[in-house]
Amino acid sequence: MHEIENALTGLAVPPRAAQGDDASVATLIDLQVLARLGEFDPDGRQGLVRRVLQTYESSLGRQLQDLLQARARGDVQQLGRIAHTLKSSSAAVGATTLAQGCAAIEQSARQEGGAPDGAELDAVLAHAHAVRRAVAAMLDA
């Protein structure tokens, strides 16, 4: 866990003792994934993890808006494409659950004549907002 701390230097990550209390961050973002990312920038000089999270946060915000618009238009294809992109970037930063939700939407969007289930979509959107908040909080430190 020591490596994780190193990698996440400068980020508002709950201290180890408090992790169990702040269950929301731990369930939203797999910190181990972020820690592994940090290995590419061992001494943190490039601020890689921070830059990745910043990029993720801003693109996530954009994509959430795009998702809402596509949904309003009933543009299933666009919905699928956005889900595809969001899926891989979410997986890359450790938002594993969100990535799985995106994969499901992408899958149903790609099926002939199919459309993502409304409730399912709502859940993913809500989760995405939570992830975004968590990331923003981490960056706010």
Residues contributing to the site for another protein (CB under 8 A): 33, 36-37, 39-41, 46, 48, 51-52, 55-56, 59, 81, 84-85, 87-89, 91-93, 99-100, 103
Least distance CB 18 / another protein (angstroms): 26
CA dist 87 → 63, 80, 102, 115, 133 (Å): 11, 10, 5, 17, 18
12 close to 54: Cβ distance less than 8 angstroms: no
Residue whose CB is less far from another protein, 99 or 121: 99
**From the CA atom positions of the chain, what is the Rg in Å?**
16
Q: Who's near 56: CB < 8 A, 6+ residues apart?
A: 89, 90, 92, 93, 95, 135
Residue whose CB is less far from another protein, 1 or 23: 1
Least distance CB 17 / another protein (angstroms): 27
Q: If we measure between CA atoms, which residue out of 22, 29, 118 comes closest to residue 71? A: 118
Residue whose CB is less far from another protein, 39 or 120: 39
Tokens of 106: 């992408």
Least distance CB 87 / another protein (angstroms): 8
Residue whose CB is less far from another protein, 25 or 135: 135
